[in-house]
Structure 1
Amino acid sequence: MTEIPVLITAFTTLFIIIDPPGLVPLFIALTQGLGAAQRRAIAYRACLVAAALMLAFLFLGEALLGFIGISMPAFRIAGGVLLFLTALDMLFERRQSRREHSAEEGVDPDHDPSVFPLALPLIVGPGAITTIILLAGQAQGPADFVAITVVMALVLVTVLIAFLASSFFERMLGKTGINIVTRVLGMLLAALAVQFILDGLLSFGFAS
């Protein structure tokens, strides 16, 4: 797997599945109302958590899920349910109301989207996990694992760059534009969540 064409294919596959440009609007919506420093911290933290998760699935793979008794279909269903709850918050602006209430009370907002839903399952979702497990299955030795790790790191760097550039896109949209985008993305995220659940149920049916 150390051949350049193979690595390019692996990078392209993982890049398309994670879709860093497509995560930018979601990052903007999930961090709406936060300061620049807070958003940078969330971006770095999300990518670090995603990196740790990717490495865990690279070296442990299905054994990790199997050890704790979780199948991939169950993982898809659980991720879909949690994403659906996040989508409801986006649709009805519950997250923004909590932030405004916290600001009035003089305390920090209690919502940190860096781990969920950014790192898991938006960056490291079922598709990315499956791809990493498949790449690990093709590895023939330590050099291949190093190559896969480099590929994952490059994809995460593009995700981080996309997140850090989100403020520029937010300024272009303005507050009204962000509110519209948040509602639209909430609906799309709800649909994505339902698709995760359906895929999980379908896979579970075949597995059974």
Structure 2
Amino acid sequence: MGFDWKEMFTISMVLFAVIDIIGSVPIIVDLRAKIGHIQSEKASIVAAVIMIAFLFVGEEILKLIGIDASSFAVAGSFVLFFLALEMILGIRLYKEDNPSTASIVPIAFPLIAGAGTMTTILSLRAEYEKINIIIAILINVTVVYVVLKSSSKIEKLLGENGLGVIRKVFGVILLAIAVKLFAANVKQLFP
């Protein structure tokens, strides 16, 4: 089918909600305070490479271990569901260790290109054209770069309440996407 504006916009919004870079501003500000300078360019480029590489080799890795794309999409819908619950309810289901370096770990991976993002990319691959996914990844990485560069300004502008509202809105969107992904792929598991 090829390039489609509507698909690209949908995928961009899904990835934006999953990556949740605006909701991660407090984490980024905290990391910057602990570690110092964060290399925004390096983190953005590494995250883009990880996501695009996973788009192309992720399914082959799954085949190697005997899992089909529909099963992974259903599993991915559960991951998105729990990420959405974290965003909506303000709870933390997944806990990470405190980092000692910042640009690649934990900014590029797992903050930007983490398990939720990888699962989402493979789940999206089951439904959308690769070119639209790649463009959406590049759009999101550009947004991530801008946010990383201006994280302290964004935090001051939105404030704690503003960040919380944005996080909850994208949580609800992500929850709806998780339900749609589940419904679209679960049928294929039971012939």
Q: State the TM-score, normalized to the length of structure 2.
A: 0.65
Work out whether 1:69 is the aligned partner of 2:66.
yes
Equivalenced residue count is: 172
Q: Which amino acid aligns with 2:112?
A: S
Distance 1:78 1:28 in 2: 25
| 1:158 aligned residue (112, 136, 139) | 139
- Per the alignment, residue 179 of structure 1 pairs with 164
| Structure 2 counterpart of 1:119, from 117, 120, 141 | 117
Q: 1:153-184: CA deviations, max 9, x gaps?
A: 65543222122223466554332111111122
8 Å CA contact 1:31–1:113 kept in 2: the answer is no
SS of 1:16's equivalent in the other structure is: helix
Q: Offset of 1:13 from its aligned partner?
A: 6.8
Within a 5 Å distance, the mapping from 1:139-150 to structure 2 comes to none
Partner of 1:108: 99
TM-score, normalising length: structure 1: 0.61
Q: Separation in 2 of the partners of 1:93 and 1:204?
A: 32
Aligned residue for 1:29, secondary structure, equals: coil
For residue 28 of structure 1, the aligned residue among 11, 22, 26 is 22
Gaps of 5+ in 1: 1-5, 136-147
Unaligned runs of 5+ in 2: none
Partner residue in 2 for 1:53: 54
Aligned to 1:204: 189
Matched residues in 1 for 2:63 and 2:15: separation?
31
Q: Tell me what 2:89 maps to.
A: 92
The structure number with the bigger radius of gyration is 1
The structure that is helix-richer by fraction is 1
Contact 2:70/2:185, CA 8 A, preserved across alignment? yes
2:114 is paired with a residue whose SS is helix
Q: Shift of residue 49 of structure 1? A: 1.1
The 2-side partners of 1:34 and 1:187 are apart by 23
Which residue in 1 is equivalent to 2:180? 195
Letter in 1 for 2:114: F
Does the 8 A contact of 1:11 with 1:152 survive in 2? no
- C-alpha change, 1:14 and 1:165, in structure 2 (3 Å) is same
Alpha-carbon separation, structure 1, partners of 2:99 and 2:176? 31
Distance 1:186 1:66 in 2: 31
Aligned AA (2:123): P
